[in-house]
Chain A
């Protein structure tokens, strides 16, 4: 039982305040949470706080003694740099396109998995295989497949074309790799949502003469909305932080760098901890903004929260 349900149950019985038993239960709940909170603070809050601290300094890893405060200058440098805006544009493009395609494909796969009667296990396993493959391994196989001379897919293209070396084809292939890899995840989340749709409701709509399109649009999707929003939220956050696919496929060259690649290059190659941390913090803010928009505007329920009143 979580502390919130415990305290919510209380007011009905004792309007003057929580009873002694409830207070003790609440204290026990907090106590039980404490280790998790401490671990979260140590592994999440501390690095984030330290990144913010570093982002306010001119700090080169090679010359730690020359570090000094520069206020918001690093943010100014990042936000006034065309590289940041280019990377942000690429990231947003990859996020929007890949998540949209994944939603459509994922929904189709979820419907297939939901309705399959024969070989249900086989179908689900087959759909899940791409998700089970390590991203870097999958990315390498895509990279080899699209490299002229070694790849079977590159061999299908006209002689002399090397799609991974040009900006738009490369971004397209990154999106393809991303969609191939994470559509099963989307399908799984949507399948869970489909299970929430009561069969009787759908059958009732059928009896009323609703076509498949009408049933999907007017019955199934509205009932699935919470699951769809959670799936979209998860995938958007993941897609926005895309790193491994790009790192393997193009290394971020030819205008295919995402914001994460940009941050990595500035931290690890340029050893510029100040600028790199500023980029990281900005990525963090973008991700927080995405989550906020989903939760506040679309009403996506945070995982584990109370279900909405119907």
Chain B
């Protein structure tokens, strides 16, 4: 019979490869007694050069005690997590600093893969830092990471089509209907594909309706009436004239492109769309305006889901003390400002939102700060991936949502996900 490689065998060979590589990696990781220690920083791939610049700058400022090597993780969030998880499961001593998506600290902390921040380090790592961002890095009351960049969505709209921005989802859908009847561009651009972005949308809507996906102790699903209200909004949008035909396939970048192509009147997206519109469609740019994220109910402003990266120190690092120090340097004011200006990522330090350098290029800085101050965080649980998959699979495609039934289904699926029971689709 022909050889039949199983998935398991691929996995095993990958681990075996890691086990062989790990000593070699650390071998060149620390250059011994003479000279500086090399700290390995694993973070998302940045094309702007801001992260490499921060790594170089911190190495120079350390006075020869350490240098930071910036290792680029894969582009997709799933790929980043898979690589970090495999390294940490293999107790890789060559991982000193980890750039974690804000949804991962609970998982990594529970597994014992990242170190707790205590004492003076903790105080320095949270000073002047956005409260919601610190909460993403906190697990069971302890701090396991420090916020690097932050992110959140605003409502972007065209003021040549929409004179006053809508305050609620119902208003926005009604406006889009009117535009459609007038034969004008009318789509609402939002992330409707079956992926993390759909979970973010749902989380924003559920918390805006006054609920949450999980109970405060993260042991059980909460959902209830606010979740039904949220699912109803998603269904209403997807079945209205406001829905882009490719809604069930759209992620952030497709939304940006649709808005730039001129077919849409509204867009719910991150601030990266602003410089992009300026560069790609200068004729539309003067009409490209922003407003707070629309609310679910008129009496309660929206609580938008926070995104971003938290920096953690690896549990198996041989140079943990230096790694803590280097992490604080990587997220200091100068480096966050560079990251915001060059990389376009909103900082996690409050005071930077008033900095003249930032507000010159980001006129919406005050609105982003306001959204971040009232931001909601995604469910905090080590089983977050499974919970998120349950949400995005149940609510996809948005046009087929049956609010009552789907929320009831979701309740059972999240219960299974929290118990690591059953399969994920």
Contacts and interface: CB of A to CB of B under 8 A. Distances in A.
Contacts of A159: 245
B89 interface: yes
A270 interface: yes
Given A44-B9, A62-B107, A81 B422 contact: yes
Interface string B88-113: 01000000000000000001001101
Nearest to B195: A253
A267 B385 contact: no
Interface in A259-288: 260, 262-272, 275-277, 279-281, 283-284, 287-288
B257 interface: yes
A234 B1 contact: no
Contact of A165 (B8, B82, B246): B246
Given A162-B246, A269-B78, A237 B4 contact: yes
Interface stretch (A48-56, A95-103, A112-120): A48-56
Nearest to A240: B4
Contacts of A264: 7
B170 interface: no
A50 B12 contact: yes
A51 B424 contact: no
Interface string A30-64: 00000000001001100110110010001011111
B194 interface: yes
Interface string B365-397: 000000000000000001001100100000011
The CB with the most chain A CB atoms within 10 A, among B3, B9, B113, is that of B9
A284 B249 contact: no
A173 interface: no
A158 B214 CA distance: 42
Contacts of B9: 43-44, 47-48, 51
The CB with the most chain B CB atoms within 10 A, among A165, A265, A283, A287, is that of A165
Main secondary structure of the interface of A (DSSP, over half): helix
A269 B111 contact: no
Interface in B244-264: 245-246, 248-249, 254, 257
Interface in A279-310: 279-281, 283-284, 287-288, 291, 302-303
Contacts of B107: 62
Interface in B278-324: none
Contact of B8 (A63, A81, A83, A280): A280
B245 A160 contact: yes
B8 A265 contact: no
B89 A265 contact: no
Given A62-B89, A283-B6, A284-B6, A265 B425 contact: yes
B120 interface: no
A288 B1 contact: yes
The CB with the most chain A CB atoms within 10 A, among B4, B5, B11, B423, is that of B423
B7 A276 contact: yes
B249 A283 contact: no
A48 B424 contact: no
B2 interface: yes
Interface string B1-38: 11111111101110000000000000000000000000
Contacts of A263: 7
A189 interface: no
B359 interface: no
A260 B12 contact: no
B174 interface: no
Contacts of B397: 165, 254
Given A48-B8, A264-B7, A165 B420 contact: no
A275 B424 CA distance: 10
Contacts of B425: 83, 257, 262, 265
A149 interface: yes
Nearest to A259: B7
B6 A48 contact: yes
Contact of B82 (A84, A164, A269): A269
A51 B8 contact: yes
Interface string A65-96: 00000000000011001011000000000000
Contacts of B113: 62
A64 B386 CA distance: 18
A266 B423 contact: yes
Contacts of B254: 149
B85 interface: yes
B6 A51 contact: yes
Contact of B389 (A81, A269, A280): A269
A184 interface: no
Interface in A12-45: 40, 43-44
A308 B424 CA distance: 47
A193 interface: no
Per CB-CB distance, the 6 closest pairs between chain A and chain B, nearest first, are A160-B245, A51-B8, A47-B9, A62-B111, A165-B249, A280-B8
12 contacts: A44-B5, A51-B9, A61-B85, A63-B110, A148-B246, A254-B194, A254-B397, A260-B7, A268-B82, A270-B389, A281-B6, A303-B2
Interface of A: 40, 43-44, 47-48, 50-51, 54, 58, 60-64, 77-78, 81, 83-84, 148-149, 159-162, 164-165, 234, 237, 241, 253-254, 257, 260, 262-272, 275-277, 279-281, 283-284, 287-288, 291, 302-303
